[in-house]
Amino acid sequence: MQEDTFDKDTETFEGSKSEAEPKPITVTWNKKEFEVVITEYVDNKTTCIVLLNPKTSTVEAKATVNLARLPDHLVYIKDYSENRGIAEVLRSHRLISRTGETIRNGSEEFEQHEILPKLGSRYNIAIPEEPEAPAVDYDLGQATKLEDAGGEAAVAEESDYPDPE
């Protein structure tokens, strides 16, 4: 039996499987299986999502378009012509989600998507957390009882609340 040797550069044992290497994320699109990989556009370092052929590691499709510099966790998806259906596949695997923003380029409109942690965490993409809703009662139609520090109830006036608009 051959003994494993420790590789100081990679901090793994040669001959053993590294558990640090996560299994590639794969999706089926247009009846083919692809690996989903994040890279960047060379000219402005904008995040780029590509689909690779898992056997040859060649780029088969770019899911994103390079229209404007965005934060690393945001992308515009090309979902027409040869890319038809690509956004739905990526959303169904919970890799991206719509932000509700769009951008027009010529006659085409592109939806902005946020890269979700399932994909983004593999590439050290910082994904901002959703801000917590403020702990303010916006029901201004009636006074609200608030506990003060002394434990007594106080009545808040409408002017105590910020205008929600």
What pLDDT, on a 0 to 100 scale, did the predictor assign at position 163? 53
Question: Quick check: 66 and 46 in contact, CB under 8 A?
Answer: yes
Residues 97-143 have pLDDT tens digits of 999 999 999 999 999 999 999 999 988 888 887 655 554 444 444 44
Question: Quick check: 59 and 51 in contact, CB under 8 A?
Answer: yes
Chain position carrying tokens 């299994």: 23
Q: Which two tokens stand for residue 152?
A: 């007594």
Other Cβ atoms closer than 10 A to 89: 19
Q: Which 3 state secondary structure label does DSSP give 121?
A: helix
- For 67, residues 6+ apart whose C-beta sits below 8 A from its C-beta are 76, 103, 105, 110
What pLDDT, on a 0 to 100 scale, did the predictor assign at position 55? 94
DSSP state of 104: E
What pLDDT, on a 0 to 100 scale, did the predictor assign at position 147? 40
Q: Which residues of 45-80 are buried (b: 16+ CB within 10 A; e: fewer)?
A: ebbbbbbbeeeeeeeebbbbbbbeebebbbbbbbbe
What pLDDT, on a 0 to 100 scale, did the predictor assign at position 127? 82
What pLDDT, on a 0 to 100 scale, did the predictor assign at position 126? 86
Question: Quick check: 63 and 77 in contact, CB under 8 A?
Answer: yes
For the chain, 165 residues long, give each residue's pLDDT as a single digit of tens: 444 454 555 444 454 444 556 789 999 999 999 999 999 999 999 999 999 999 999 999 999 999 989 999 999 999 999 999 999 999 999 999 999 999 999 999 999 999 999 999 988 888 887 655 554 444 444 444 444 444 444 444 444 445 555
